[in-house]
Amino acid sequence: MESAIPAHLRVARRCPLAMPDDHQPPFPAWTARFSSLTGQVVMAYFGIQAATAIAPAALHAVTGRFSSPYAPAHWDLAAYIDDAGFHNLVAIAYWPSPQQFERWKTSSLFSAWWHAAEREAGEYGYFLEVVSPQADSFETIFSDRASPEGVASLAEGMSGEMQEHGYWGSARDRLPRAQIDALSGSATAPSATRTGKRVVLAGRENLCLIRSGQDWSATQQQERQKYLSEVEPVLREGMHFLRDSGHTIGCLNCRYMQVLDVNSHALMEKTFGLAHFSDMAALELWAKSHPTHVAIFGGFMRYVQELNFNIALRLWHEIVVVPATAQHFEYINCHANTGLLRQIGGESL
């Protein structure tokens, strides 16, 4: 069994491990392995918003550019309805470096399209949320090593079975930077710059983002029924708590999204929660002690135990802790509760 932190990112630890002595994980899990040359990567969320249902073609001005030079190495398409009842369609794209991302924005003419005055008119709102973590500032975990998702699509492969999982605090133990940094966040909301119907938010120090996914496409009969009737409703309730009331515990925004096939645009049997927390400690506190996550964790453990740990459900997540200087959040013509806009309050754009 190996450590989640690769050898080239291990340093003399100043922050203690949470892993108990002689810990034996209750089930296998893996993490993505990246080249030792991997530096800063880009995770970009391109969104479109409307009061009524949105056809995927409405986002083609973005996704149609993903086949141009310097295109993302991987991208997903997802949809959700937010707490204001607005429909949202989002393309989530990953680049191996900020330089390649910037070249794509320029060469594809995305920047010209994004900054055009026409974006501020019409029925749609638009948002662009970008975090660019260093390789030591994100971690991943997978229940199936053959099914990479998200940033793992940029990786060289998967680890062997890893030790740091199955106990509270394991995510921090897997995060290389947490060996020497407490990853404390900002106490105050970021400033905002408004120009017409556009708002750009300043970064927030050590913002913590988690994208946590579920794929039940391979499940059959008993397991499928069990997931959809016993596990998913509890998960949805927890995601909606974070969406509606998460501000009381340090969650700045949460979206529970369903994945669409990027070619056919059909709904897939895959969902994920995307949440931003004020820092990693806020995420950990919710995960360890809040009744909504205790119910999610308890329901999942019953699920795997009743199936004798032989499950086809695929689970994964990526957690990112990023400095203020490596964030960009921009909203055009969006309602006031969109994404991280709710931090600053105020009227719709």
pLDDT tens for each residue of 20-29: 999 999 889 9
317 is catalytic: yes
163-204: per-residue pLDDT in tens? 999 888 999 999 999 999 999 998 788 899 999 999 999 999
Q: What is the pLDDT of residue 197?
A: 94
Our separate counts of H helices and E strands in the chain read 8, 14
Cα angle 119, 320, 286; round to 5: 105
What kind and span of H or E run contains 111? helix 110-115
Query: Residues 102-108: what's their mean pLDDT?
Result: 98
Residue with tokens 């893996």, as numbered in its chain: 30
Query: Considering 165, 276, 317, 335, which one is annotated as catalytic?
Result: 317
Domain ranges of the chain: 42-133+191-201+325-343, 134-187+204-323
Helix, strand or coil for residue 171? helix
Domain 42-133+191-201+325-343 has CATH 1.10.150: no
User: How far is the C-alpha of 167 from the C-alpha of 176, rounded, in Å?
Assistant: 17
C-alpha distances in angstroms, 238 versus 208, 290, 291, 315?
Answer: 18, 10, 9, 16
Q: Can you read off the two tokens belonging to residue 173?
A: 């133990």
Q: Which helix (H) or strand (E) covers residue 63, if one does?
A: helix 60-63
Please report where in the chains the tokens 């920047």 appear, as a residue. 111
Whole-number pLDDT of residue 348: 42
d(CA 89, CA 262): 12
Mean pLDDT over 273-287 rounds to 95
In which band, very low, low, confident or very high, does the pLDDT at 93 lie, cut at 50, 70 and 90? very high
- The architecture in CATH of the region 134-187+204-323 reads 2-Layer Sandwich (3.30)
Helix (H) / strand (E) element for 174: namely helix 170-174
pLDDT of residue 347: 44
pLDDT at 346 over 70: no
Task: State yes or no: pLDDT of 345 exceeds 80.
Answer: no
Tell me whether domains 42-133+191-201+325-343 and 134-187+204-323 share a fold.
yes
pLDDT of residue 299: 80
